[in-house]
Amino acid sequence: MLKIRDLSISFRRYNGLLRQQLIPRLSNIRLDVAPGEVVALIGPSGAGKSLIAHAIMGLLPKNCVMKGEIYHNGVVLDRHIIEEKRGREISLLPQQISCLDPTARVGKQISWAAERAGTKVNADEQLINVGLPPQVGSLYPHQLSGGMAKRILVAQANTAGAPLLIADEPTTGLDPSTRDLVLDRIRKHADQGGAVLLITHDLMPALTRADRIALIRDGQMSCTLPTSAFNGSGDGLTSDYARSLWRALPQNGFEVYA
């Protein structure tokens, strides 16, 4: 469903009036996500994870220079095609809760997401699906806790019904129960035939929901491994970086290497 080939992204910067400089951020990214699959893209802050999400959605800033190709169902996502698919065939679950409209009640915003996708949904049912009572639909974003706002974003993404879901750090700042609810909804989307790119820095929760783990570091892909490879002492991991991450977890002895 999603195929990324040799994606490289640089930022254009001007030194003085005319001298132009390109600052590379991503280099030769290759990634696949199939229907029925959750692929977790994991890396530290600043590794370029969200930049990949924005490239898929066609939301890069104007000073970006992008090379390589992104395919959705075999079709190259150029600017015109992504505008047609965005919100209908490809949906983004954004990282920032500030993406909610502060001037509109959240129930109305869920309905708007459905209208943009050309579907009809019951906003109350969508709220119940993410563990919120229907009366929450009458609230404004500033009246929500962080966890509630995240659930509203999940409800909006689910409402669109897009087969491909890009979930950008959907569990940041959530308590364990809310985190698990959000991840369960993401897993359900894949189990129903959708495809999910789950962007996160949290390895352990991702391992319980994802089919494969793609590791990114310093703007480059390190490796892509099945979740089953992350077990025991990590001897079965073919990547030194993956092995270091696994062994640095508290339950694996906090082994940290310089």
Chain segment 94-108, per-residue pLDDT in tens: 988 889 999 999 999
Is the pLDDT reported for residue 50 higher than 60?
yes
Least Cα distance to 61 among 7, 4, 13 occurs for 13
Is the pLDDT reported for residue 42 higher than 90?
yes
Is the pLDDT reported for residue 198 higher than 60?
yes
Q: Which residues is 90 bridged to in the sheet?
A: 86, 164
pLDDT of amino acid 132: 93
Q: For strands 212-217 and 38-42, give the pairing.
A: parallel
DSSP string, 88-116: TTEEEE-S-GGGS-TTS-HHHHHHHHHHH
Instruction: Answer for the pair 41, 212: CB distance below 8 angstroms, yes or no.
Output: no
Assign 257 a pLDDT band (cuts: 50, 70, 90): low
How far apart, in whole angstroms, are the C-alpha atoms of residue 8 and residue 256? 30
232: left (phi over 0), alpha (psi -120 to 50) or beta: left
**What pTM was computed for the model?**
0.92
pLDDT mean across residues, the chain: 92
Q: pLDDT of 203-233, one tens digit each?
A: 999 999 999 999 999 999 999 999 999 999 8
pLDDT of amino acid 187: 95
How far apart, in whole angstroms, are the C-alpha atoms of residue 14 and residue 209? 43
Instruction: Name the token pair of 103.
Output: 């001037």
